[in-house]
Structure 1
């Protein structure tokens, strides 16, 4: 395979060279979450020439994203474009040689294995530990390396996980923190530079993995505070546990979670509840709009329908039956609204 001139600077970097670039061009990567970290990760992966990139995100672009989510613009926010689609549109203009596959999807136990397998590497751009433990279960079960990353306020953290070689996420954190006990970007804010530091570190580790330069991987958990000028690197090699539920006992509790008729999540810090039917639907947004337009304000594009029954509630309805209800964090109220207007 001929290597395009656009990758000439990679080739001149001896640790990659022609052999490494060819490996990148044949590599397959999944990125979960196309928010702040995810947009930086995708930008690096596409520009470096990774051959296939799967983008997974459940959300749509809002104006408050533009401060730090580098692939989006004001028009994306005005049109409520799903992040996976908006990102794919931008990335395809950056490198048309890369196959980009966007998925407007909420990662959950019913779809995680389909979305996260068939790749060489999983990159974490999520904003919650439930999703990360789900990624960890799939990665351990299918022996897929993945790179954990997180950022809030001016602080960030990253760790590279290779099944059977390093501790997995559940070796380090047995269970997810309780909702409301940790800072989020919505409660503590976030500055753009920490996003780029964490995601760029993840991208560098990803490049090493994909060109098989595994001797150069960082075996420590790295933490940064860009405001306080702090950096620490913690050796966690001895944290690998024989009785770890995931990598030790092969009990994939997050992947095998028994779901009720809906998958319901409060979105911490966002005054929102997401309801996702366990059995995906195939809704006609046009028909639903006809039903709802006399009951409130509706705005529709081909990806979602926005419905506001009053000044306080907004419902974002997706074709697979998933609904994001903004204006409440009360699950009972959210389910009532869901049943009242959608009858599901």
Structure 2
């Protein structure tokens, strides 16, 4: 199979030895949307040994603009993204072991899977899951690569346990993007740029070229021709509960995860977010209207509608998702609207 990877082997930083290392590695891909499908395709074409990819959603028409593994046929069949990705990836490289999981990346699932993974790649637009990934990464000493994009903006950072600051540390320094493509739109080149940063870092990690791993936090805006690279070594915080001197891994605690409950006798799911704190309903109302949602409200709550989706949001972050008893779907609506 050397002919297949010959151009990659000719690259001296990988070579034959590096190609063999890549073939022995297992990557955990969290999300099979825009970033997940792009990252997965490049890694499978590169000859990764095993790829586990998890996603809870199915393919919709709006995905085809930027999610490169999927087709109109997948939309017509309403295929789960993980299943559609597996089908396509096996056609690209039948030597790679693909483990497709249709479901949510919970703390329990991630802890189990991370024990056998060499690298975790963030391809979700769910910040709660990112924080769980971060704690799992630190607890089991598995490197992970953060990535996010919205509009024409994107960012990426490689997190190496014991060496770099973790995501929890970064939150003390950088106001990370909270919007999603459902609320802020997105152009495909921004997705591809983040994928390029993530997969380049992934290859460095998989071949063990640790000196080449980028130590800076990268962000860019392709539309406004802006590119920033910030050194983050001083962001590492000794008191961090995820990676500091006395870690407790707070985001693996069930008390710090979002709670979902079906209300008795109603097609309504209540969602109670992790942690405490009040939302600014006035600011949020303006943002949601600008994103196309129909918003009504009073000093105590907002009623948010778009198509068939309706959510009532309270100041403490608690929400009622109407028209469903499906906890996973309700949580997806909540996260899509709030980012």
Count how many residue pairs are aligned between Structure 1 and Structure 2. 280
Residues 338 and 140 of structure 1, relative CA distance in 2, 3 Å threshold: closer
Asked whether the 8 Å contact 1:158–1:221 carries over to 2, the reply is: yes
Counterpart pick for 1:187 among 183, 199, 215: 183
Q: Deviations over 1:135-158 (max 9, x none)?
A: 001000000000000000000000
Which whole-Å CA distance do the structure 1 matches of 2:168 and 2:57 have between them? 26
Of residues 220, 229, 234, the one that matches 1:233 is 229
1:253 equivalent among 250, 254, 258: 250
**How far apart, CA to CA, are the structure 1 residues paired with 2:178 and 2:28?**
26
Question: Does structure 1 residue 96 correspond to structure 2 residue 94?
Answer: yes
Aligned counterpart, 1:13: 11
The superposition leaves residues 296-324 of structure 1 with CA deviations (integer Å, 9 ceiling, x where unpaired) of xxxxxxxxxxxxxxxxxxxxxxxxxxxxx
2:287 matched to which residue of 1?
Answer: none
Structure 1 residues 155-182: Cα deviation after superposition (integer angstroms, max 9, x where no partner): 000000000100000001159989xx93
Match of 2:211 among 209, 215, 219: 215
Q: Which residue is equivalent to 1:173?
A: 171
Change (3 A) 1:91 1:337: closer
Note if contact 2:39-2:195 (Cα within 8 Å) is conserved in structure 1.
yes
1:46 match: secondary structure: helix
The answer to whether the Cα contact below 8 Å between 2:128 and 2:257 also exists between their aligned partners in 1 is: no
User: Which residue of structure 1 lines up, in the alignment, with residue 115 of structure 2?
Assistant: 117
- 8 Å CA contact 1:31–1:38 kept in 2: the answer is yes
- Counterpart CA distance in 1 for 2:81 and 2:102 is 8
Task: Give the TM-score normalised by structure 2.
Answer: 0.77
Corresponding position of 1:319: none
| Superposed displacement of residue 195, structure 1 | 0.4
Q: TM-score, normalised by structure 1?
A: 0.76
CA deviations 1:66-111 (Å, max 9, x no partner) are 0000000111111110001100100000000100000011112232
User: Which range moves more in the overlay, 115-124 or 256-265?
Assistant: 256-265
Stretches of structure 1 that go unaligned for 5 or more consecutive residues are 266-271, 276-325, 340-344
The Cα shift of 1:261 comes to 11
Equivalent residue number for residue 86 of structure 1: 84
1:28 and 1:121 in contact (8 A); partners too: yes
Unaligned runs of 5+ in 2: 263-267, 272-307, 313-318, 328-339
**Are 2:269 and 2:320, in contact at CA under 8 Å, matched by a contact in 1?**
no
